[in-house]
Amino acid sequence: MRKLIPAKKRIDVTPGESVRIIRALQGLSQTQLSALCGLPQPTISSIENGRVNLGVERAKVLGTALHCHPAVLVFPGWQLGSAA
């Protein structure tokens, strides 16, 4: 059986902030992201501003549109720890 490697928190970023950062790095507006993923623009704004929880299903949809794994959005700021 493989030994599990614990994750370590690197920075404090909320899931909404991670969506905003990745969207901005790709040069997309909220309206453009809305068109790519099918979520209404006000919902994207609410996610980014922490008024609405991201949730796993929305993370899957946004991850596909942003070309990243949903876990990057749901668990931002984490990295694998070193094997002990």
**Which tokens belong to 10?**
């690197």
Model confidence band, residue 84 (pLDDT cutoffs 50, 70, 90)? very low
From first CA to last CA, the distance across the chain in angstroms is 15
44 within some domain? yes
Domain count of the chain?
1
Beta carbons within 10 angstroms of residue 11's beta carbon: 9
Band the pLDDT of 80: cuts 50, 70, 90: low
Interatomic CA distance for residues 49 and 57, integer angstroms: 18
In a domain, residue 48? The reply is yes
Domain of residue 42: give its range. 7-80
Residue 83 has pLDDT above 50, yes or no: no
**Does some domain include residue 1?**
no
State the sign of the Cα–Cα–Cα–Cα dihedral 54, 19, 33, 37. negative
Q: How far is CA 26 from the centre of its chain?
A: 13
Asked whether residue 2 is assigned to any structural domain, the reply reads no
